[in-house]
Structure 1
Amino acid sequence: MQHKMASVALLLASIALPSSVQAQAAGEQIIDGGAVDTVLAIAQRHGDATREHQMNGNPGISGRMADTDYYIYFVNCDSEGVCEDINFYAGFSESQPTLESINEWNRDRRFGKAYIDYEDDAVIEMDINLEYGVTADNLDAGFLVWETVLTEFRTHIGYE
Structure 2
Amino acid sequence: MFPVSRIVRTALASVAVSAFCVSTALAADLIDATSPEAILDVAKGFGSAQLTTDSAGDPMISGRIDGTRYSIMFYGCKDGRNCTDVQFGTAWSKPGMSLEEINRWNRTARFSKAFLDDENDPVLEMAVNLNAGVTRKNLEDTIDWWATAVNAFRMEVLN
Q: TM tier, shorter chain? A: 0.7 to 0.9
Question: Which runs of structure 1 show a deviation greater than 3 angstroms over 4 or more consecutive aligned residues?
Answer: 22-28
CA distance in 1, matches of 2:39, 2:148: 18
1:68-94 C-alpha deviation (Å, 9 max, x unpaired):
000110111134711111110100113
When the two structures are superposed, what TM-score results if normalisation uses the length of structure 2?
Answer: 0.81
Letter of the aligned partner of 2:124 in structure 1?
A: I
Query: Who is 1:37 aligned against?
Result: 37
Secondary structure class of the residue paired with 1:154:
helix
Query: Who is 1:62 aligned against?
Result: 62
Pair 1:136 & 2:136 matched: yes
> How many positions carry a matched residue from both structures?
145
Alpha carbons 2:57, 2:80 under 8 Å: kept: no
- Within 5 A, what are the aligned runs for 1:6-155? 24-26=24-26, 29-79=29-79, 81-94=81-94, 96-155=96-155
Letter of the aligned partner of 1:92 in structure 2?
A: W
Secondary structure class of the residue paired with 2:126:
strand
Identity %: 35
Secondary structure class of the residue paired with 1:123:
strand
Letter of the aligned partner of 1:84 in structure 2?
A: T
Mark the CA change 1:25 to 1:124 in structure 2 (over 3 Å): closer, same or farther.
Answer: same
Higher strand proportion (structure 1 or 2) = 1
Query: Who is 1:158 aligned against?
Result: 158
Alpha carbons 2:58, 2:79 under 8 Å: kept: no
1:14-50 C-alpha deviation (Å, 9 max, x unpaired):
9xxxxxxx86555771111111111111110000001
Mark the CA change 1:86 to 1:28 in structure 2 (over 3 Å): closer, same or farther.
Answer: same
CA distance in 2, matches of 1:48, 1:42: 11
When the two structures are superposed, what TM-score results if normalisation uses the length of structure 1?
Answer: 0.80
CA distance in 2, matches of 1:88, 1:146: 8
Q: CA RMSD in A?
A: 2.6
Alpha carbons 1:114, 1:123 under 8 Å: kept: yes
Alpha carbons 1:84, 1:129 under 8 Å: kept: no
Unaligned runs of 5+ in 2: 1-7, 9-14
Higher helix proportion (structure 1 or 2) = 2
1:101-143 C-alpha deviation (Å, 9 max, x unpaired):
1001001111111000001000000011223111111111110
Secondary structure class of the residue paired with 1:45:
helix
Q: Which has the larger radius of gyration?
A: 2
Letter of the aligned partner of 2:67 in structure 1?
A: D
1:42-74 C-alpha deviation (Å, 9 max, x unpaired):
110000001110000100010000220001101
